A and B are shown apart, each in its own frame.
Chain A
């Protein structure tokens, strides 16, 4: 049974279509893998055994008739941020206790329409606020990777830590994730998996619990570039229910794989060379440059001068939007209610108990920067800086740059309960220093595993593309993947 969980989506799809295996067999293999591993990894907060069986049986019936969609019979994990009808959806927050939506998010509906099977809901940082998956109400997620000669538990990154851990440990064939400042790409880099944040507007946000609406985008975390391409094709769509979702046909991303990067101009932004960056990261970046050069791409040094201001601007824009979006959690319509002396006290007690410390902190910052007298100095200023960040990228693309290559993270995975990160919220925020610019500019970005550091932990490279050039990213990431190989943790769980 364990061999079945080794199959990529592309491999499983072929075996399902040729009836060499059934979806029920494949689904059972994943369910037993989850049941034996989840106590250690805590990647799933809810396993939907019965629903998985039902969906797999329905897929087998379709496959037997020679029918079925792009993902027919493929078992997936779903980040707890996506509303799933009749299945708990709590954004891993105490304040959404027992919430069971009566509707399905557009992204998950697209997956089910294409035949995918739901294994369960995946752990994440509370309301997607975090870079280590330690802010979840359901406890930290453990990275299946460990440093050489060590049994210390490491974080899988965040906020999509459950998704990354589950994909890396083969507890699902692929997973949905979301990315507001790096929440797909950073955990993908920490776990040796592939994660893509598509262009803002490519995936519908309808039915996805909102964090920062102008930055949030859904995307897949998968074992390899091909699987990520297969999943994104199904997740992306047009959607009348989300006015920011674009009316553009979804390309067959898989068809871009194997294309040549000969003559492509790859930009190397000097501002991503940070003080104190570990040598391993610099070496990895140089290796990535060499691989693309060998494949015939032209390497061009570029400048994105406002890079260093992206993270501070993000920590104004994202909390501001979050404070507005999270105003709805008031103990009246859903979730937790803590009684108080009057209605206002009820709101205040409910929100004090229902939100964890990181979420409370961000709501407070957001409320402050939007409050009378500070709105122009903080919020409007940050939105102006955002215009400059986007302009930097536009200038690079106008110079003829096709894709930009950077490291995905400033380090490899760190320990759960890292004291430095825990004592200073800003230290934790620095995890997203290479990824957050992409959200601020609404661009697509992919993290692809490219090597191991001296501790034996995976590191990723990031490719940033022009708006809606996900195909270019898949093509280029595939070239890196072919050169770097794939990375799987040794099983200890």
Chain B
């Protein structure tokens, strides 16, 4: 399988990464080189093989459903590019 420039554009959109028209060709070539490389997996017979979900056979640890942390709104917004009164500020999303 390989991608064309329209697919590169669609994937860039899904990835939320802006890509200029002039870079589409370069990215198309690079993605196809990688997809060409992974193509060799089609040789492998995986009939009846379960996909891996965990490398170490272990039971997922569970914890009590309780509050163990919190009341640190200032810490949480401390690294935000823009915040106001412990809220993150973003461009207007609703007209």
Contact B15 A351 (CB under 8 A): yes
Contact A364 B51 (CB under 8 A): no
Contact A388 B34 (CB under 8 A): no
Interface set, chain A 83-117, CB cutoff 8 A to B: 98-102
Chain A nearest CB, measured from B30 CB (Å): 6
**Given A201-B56, A332-B88, do A380 and B51 touch, yes or no (CB 8 Å)?**
yes
User: How many positions in chain B have a CB within 8 Å of any CB in the partner chain?
Assistant: 51
Contact B82 A98 (CB under 8 A): no
List, in ascending order, chain B residues with CB within 8 A of A397's CB.
none
Contact B55 A442 (CB under 8 A): yes
Interface stretch of the complex, out of A65-73, A228-236, A365-373: A365-373
Chain A nearest CB, measured from B5 CB (Å): 13
**B90 contacts partner chain A, Cβ-Cβ < 8 Å:** yes
Give which listed residue, A243, A342, A467, contacts B91 with CB less than 8 A.
A342
User: How many positions in chain A have a CB within 8 Å of any CB in the partner chain?
Assistant: 74
**B67 contacts partner chain A, Cβ-Cβ < 8 Å:** no
- How far, in angstroms, from A228 to B53 measured CA to CA in the complex? 30
List, in ascending order, chain B residues with CB within 8 A of A214's CB.
54-55
- How far, in angstroms, from A336 to B82 measured CA to CA in the complex? 10
List, in ascending order, chain B residues with CB within 8 A of A313's CB.
38, 41
Interface set, chain B 73-95, CB cutoff 8 A to A: 75-76, 78-82, 88, 90-93
Give which listed residue, A334, A351, A364, A467, contacts B56 with CB less than 8 A.
A467
List, in ascending order, chain A residues with CB within 8 A of B30's CB.
361, 425
- How far, in angstroms, from A156 to B29 measured CA to CA in the complex? 28
Interface of B is mostly: loop
Give which listed residue, A100, A315, A386, contacts B37 with CB less than 8 A.
A315
**A348 contacts partner chain B, Cβ-Cβ < 8 Å:** yes
List, in ascending order, chain B residues with CB within 8 A of A355's CB.
17
Contact B51 A346 (CB under 8 A): no
Give which listed residue, B15, B40, B44, B79, contacts A323 with CB less than 8 A.
B15
Give which listed residue, B19, B50, B56, contacts A352 with CB less than 8 A.
B19
**A227 contacts partner chain B, Cβ-Cβ < 8 Å:** no
Contact B56 A348 (CB under 8 A): no
Closest 10 CB pairs of A and B: A442-B55, A383-B51, A337-B81, A334-B79, A348-B18, A352-B18, A384-B46, A102-B75, A312-B38, A386-B52
Q: List 22 A-B contacts (CB under 8 A).
A: A309-B44, A312-B41, A313-B38, A315-B34, A316-B38, A327-B16, A332-B80, A334-B80, A342-B91, A343-B93, A351-B17, A352-B17, A367-B11, A367-B14, A368-B35, A384-B49, A384-B51, A385-B41, A385-B46, A426-B33, A426-B34, A440-B55
> What is A's interface to B at a CB cutoff of 8 Å?
98-102, 199-201, 214, 240, 243-244, 246-247, 306, 308-309, 311-313, 315-316, 323, 327, 330-337, 339-340, 342-349, 351-352, 355, 360-361, 363-365, 367-368, 371, 374, 377-378, 380-388, 390, 424-426, 429, 440-442, 467
Query: Besides the contacts A364-B11, A368-B7, A387-B51, what 13 more A-B pairs have beta carbons closer than 8 Å?
Result: A201-B58, A247-B61, A309-B41, A323-B15, A330-B16, A332-B80, A345-B18, A355-B17, A364-B17, A374-B1, A380-B51, A384-B49, A388-B44
